[in-house]
């Protein structure tokens, strides 16, 4: 498939959502609610679970399947309270020494004036800072769309895995085409230029692994993914100096580029 075909696949309503992964990989998942400041954002789900006996914190951006669910979940576009709920869970993971696993699938954060009034930019930035600072392992899975800062807020990780038909981009192809050419119909050209596919992310040093989608949605698929997550967490823990290694990893992304400021 070309880049824009992959974009359309990543957006498909038939793909498993974050809750499909969470409830299948972590059957004992207990969801937490609210940011303790304003409300509970249904676009972000999070809580605690166990993975092969290991206590973990799980956070995901949920789109929903039916029209009713998608409306309730704001079509997977979190509001500030959702990011603050995620930040609260990150802080608890540090306190109780629980690894963090995130599932990212969003076109971007909620773009309404009320979100800006409640400090959406600050909430996203705070999550990025908190993830950067954790001394426990962090693995982020890009399971569909990875749009802009809305996705980045949950994707600063020791390991970033992308499903083979997932995308990760600073802007949607349609938005990019509208800005550059004032013509959203040129989205396919923009998709190619944005280098937003999983293969692009690997070549740019952004993603660490591409996950095959063969058998996606099956019990065996979720079991295998859970095994790989546990194995990777154990590997990160054995490496030691988690925060320092994460810092150097992030600093080295795009290190070949030089800029005169």
Rounded to whole angstroms, the Cα distance separating 54 from 217 reads 23
Mean pLDDT of 9-17: 95
73 CB-near residues (< 8 Å, 6+ apart): 42, 43, 62, 63, 64
In angstroms, the Cα distances linking 224 to 25, 157, 220 are 9, 21, 6
Rounded to whole angstroms, the Cα distance separating 103 from 109 reads 15
Sign of CA dihedral 111, 167, 177, 72: negative
Rounded to whole angstroms, the Cα distance separating 180 from 163 reads 29
Q: Which residue has the tokens 């705070």?
A: 126
Pairing of strands 44-51, 54-61: antiparallel
Which H/E stretch holds residue 234?
Answer: helix 219-239
Across 15-29, 89-103, 108-122, 241-255, least confident range: 241-255
**Residue 258 pLDDT exceeds 50:** no
User: What homologous superfamily is domain 3-250 in, according to CATH?
Assistant: 2-enoyl-CoA Hydratase; Chain A, domain 1 (3.90.226.10)
pTM higher than 0.95 for the full model? Answer: no
E-strand stretches of the chain: 30-32, 44-51, 54-61, 100-106, 138-146, 159-163, 209-211
Burial, 142: exposed, middle or buried (Cβ in 10 Å; 0-12, 13-18, 19+)? buried
What three-state secondary structure class fits 136?
A: coil
84 CB-near residues (< 8 Å, 6+ apart): 35, 36, 37, 38, 123, 126
Task: Please state at what angle helix 173-180 crosses helix 187-194, rounded to 10 degrees.
Answer: 110
Structure confidence by residue, pLDDT tens digits, 115-167:
999 999 999 999 999 999 999 999 999 999 999 999 999 999 999 999 999 99
Structure confidence by residue, pLDDT tens digits, 67-117:
999 999 999 999 999 999 999 999 999 999 999 999 999 999 998 999 999
């Amino acid at each position: 498939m070309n880049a824009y075909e992959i974009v359309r696949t990543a957006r498909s309503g038939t793909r498993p959502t974050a809750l499909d992964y969470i409830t299948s990989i972590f059957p004992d998942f207990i969801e937490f609610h609210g940011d303790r400041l304003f409300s509970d954002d249904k676009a972000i789900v999070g809580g605690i679970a166990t993975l092969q006996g290991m206590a973990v914190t799980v956070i995901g951006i949920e789109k929903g399947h039916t029209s009713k669910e998608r409306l309730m979940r704001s079509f997977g576009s979190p509001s500030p309270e959702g990011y603050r709920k995620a930040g609260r869970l990150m802080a608890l993971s540090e306190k109780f020494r629980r690894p963090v696993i995130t599932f990212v699938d969003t076109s971007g954060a909620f773009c309404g004036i009320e979100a800006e009034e409640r400090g959406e930019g600050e909430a996203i930035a705070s999550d990025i800072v908190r993830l950067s600072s954790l001394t426990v392992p962090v693995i982020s899975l890009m399971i569909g769309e990875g749009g802009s800062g809305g996705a980045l807020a949950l994707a600063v990780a020791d390991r970033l895995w992308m499903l083979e038909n997932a995308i990760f981009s600073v802007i949607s192809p349609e938005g990019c085409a509208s800005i550059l050419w004032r013509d959203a119909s040129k989205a396919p050209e923009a998709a190619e230029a944005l280098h937003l596919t999983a293969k692009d992310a690997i070549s740019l040093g952004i993603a660490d692994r591409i996950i095959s989608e063969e058998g996606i949605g099956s019990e065996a698929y979720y079991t295998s993914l859970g095994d790989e997550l546990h194995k990777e967490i154990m590997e990160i823990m054995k490496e030691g100096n988690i925060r320092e290694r994460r810092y150097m990893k992030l600093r080295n992304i795009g290190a070949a580029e030089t800029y005169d400021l």
